[in-house]
Amino acid sequence: MRTTQKFRIPNIEQYKQKLLFWGQQFNEVVWLDSNDYRNQYSSYNAVLAVDAFTCIQTDYYNAFDKLKEYQSITKDWLFGYLTYDLKNAVERLESKNFDGLEFPDLFFFQPKKLFLIKDDEVEVHYLGAVDDEMEEDLKDIEALDVASETHISSPNNVKVKLRMHKDEYFEKVNAVLEHIHRGDIYEANFCQEFYAEDTEIHPLETYLKLDAISKPPFATFLRLNDKYLMSASPERYIKKEGLKITSQPIKGTAKRSQNPKEDLLLKEQLSKDEKERSENIMIVDLVRNDLAHTATKGSVVVEELCEVYTYPQVHQMVSTVTSQIEASTNPVDVIATTFPMGSMTGAPKISAMQIIEALEDTKRGLYSGAVGYFSPQGDFDFNVVIRSILYNAEKRYVSYSVGGAITAKSNPLNEYEECLVKAKAMREVLEN
């Protein structure tokens, strides 16, 4: 049972900062922030979940069955992540590439303390075991002096290295194109890692800088002991609200311009770009097929096709696909039958995953996985882990990866330049 309290806050942005700083004392933290992007698909402005009462941590083997059992037994709020390598749990695949980060394949926890922010209202949920701490915690949060906390102790000065150099990237994209021309696949999302070894960063300050540059609708700060995710994700993977399922794949990216006329032209060019539209439509077809596994007959609908959304760093082409499920459908089954998300794999999905596994140098891990939550009612909401910095503090290893969809119309140089556009914010934050 949870003790709940609701109250209004006059300065919600300041309260969000106080909450995030207060949460740093815990070993298990999930912070989700919409940066005030509000539309018909939104639930909360921001959420903070901290301090595990129970948890599940496992490798990919039978991972979704274990998660289903944990979610069914707990029937409470659960927060955590799914790594890309859970693909090995749903198909006969493997992940043998280099892994400098070593995140567990799946982790979820039942938070003792939970804060849900919607508009100017804060809803606090404390488990019975700690509900006597609520009043003192709320006083501590209110008393926090954010101005004194937000000084940058030392700017990052990270020497970022390329796991894959430009010529090798071109060779590998051409190898993907050979598979496409042979008819093995139509599209593959091919990724590369940028990394730094023997490096120390301040995770929260790094997240705040990244968030300030990007202001994305699915920002995430996650901590699991000595492992951190700082994410400026613009993409929702999948959401369940009642019996409605919503997936919003992104495919198609254009840079921004400070010149308003040029910026509008870049947006219009993206909306009409045949290559970008074809990428997006291929993934929409894949998502429709994935959702059909659990959908009631005839309920899969494309609500938005190739809509262009604008964010501080980039314009993005987003589609929205929805379906309805039966009340008897287990929520974890909806995730297991759609994972990994099509925007990070390609089509056909299994062949694309086999090809990119063979060509990429790095195990993706949490990159191109998902972070989110289950509610006590079995609803859920998960983002796609892109535009993200990952950090293993014990190993002093920092990493970010970027990728793009390779199709028959792809030009290796253009794809490489698109990767650099996507990497810009992470590189700025790390290299100062």
Catalytic residues: 235, 251
Number of Cβ atoms within 10 Å of the Cβ of 171: 12
CA 21 to chain centre: 21
Give residue 200's Cα distance to chain centre: 23
DSSP state of 339: P
CA distance 8 to 10: 7
Check if the beta carbon of residue 132 is closer than 8 Å to that of residue 3.
no
Count of beta carbons in the 10 Å neighbourhood of residue 292: 16
**Distant-in-sequence, close-in-space partners of 305: CB < 8 Å, separation ≥ 6:** 280, 281, 284, 319
Q: Are 395 and 377 in contact (CB under 8 A)?
A: no
Q: Are 367 and 390 in contact (CB under 8 A)?
A: yes
- List Cα–Cα distances, 347 to 246, 277, 351, 353, in angstroms: 20, 15, 7, 9
